[in-house]
Amino acid sequence: MSGFDMGTFLAGLTDTVTPGRGRPLVVHAADMQPLPIGEVHNPSALSVAGDLPTATFELFRQTIPPGGSSDMQRHHHETVHMVLAGDGRSEIEDDEVTWTTGSLVYTPPWTWHRHWNDSADQPVEFLTIENSRLLGLLGVNRRQSAGLVDIAEARARFGGDPT
């Protein structure tokens, strides 16, 4: 990778976070920044805690409406969803798992996955934590969305090639 020096990168990592007015230690729910619908492939509502001074991970609040789902996607980063409210299921490659409030759902890197809200009248709320910032700093973060399709269609459309 041109211009990247691992020694410089590692020397820049510290165990001290230097917050300031632009990078506070607390971001309140009202200050979360919604991602513009239409600019992201995911049909669920996503808000990012972008002002936190995290250097290696990203935090989102994700809401899946009753009966809805996220898109079928894969990405190079790892993700953990903490279920704040609701019940549902996730397709992660060839596995289907169920979850409820308080569950933690892990999505490994570069796996096709989609999350479903099984309720007809209550939204699902996730706290989504992903190491996308770190991969972005290293220049290796990538996402693909196949839209609202099943895994077979996603595989047919994109194949197994990560490039």
pLDDT, tens digit (0-9, with 9 covering 90-100), for 23-46? 678 888 888 888 887 766 788 888
Q: Model-level pTM?
A: 0.80
How many Cα atoms are found within 13 Å in the side-chain-facing hemisphere of 141? 15
Closest CA to 62 of 77, 47, 78: 47
Contacts of 154 (CB under 8 A, 6+ apart): 72, 74, 112, 146
By DSSP bridging, strand 95-99 and strand 88-92 are antiparallel
Which amino acid would we find at residue 119?
S
pLDDT of 2 higher than 70: no
pLDDT for 90-128, tens place per residue? Answer: 999 999 999 999 999 999 999 999 999 999 999 999 999
Per the CB < 8 A criterion, the answer to whether 135 and 59 are in contact is no
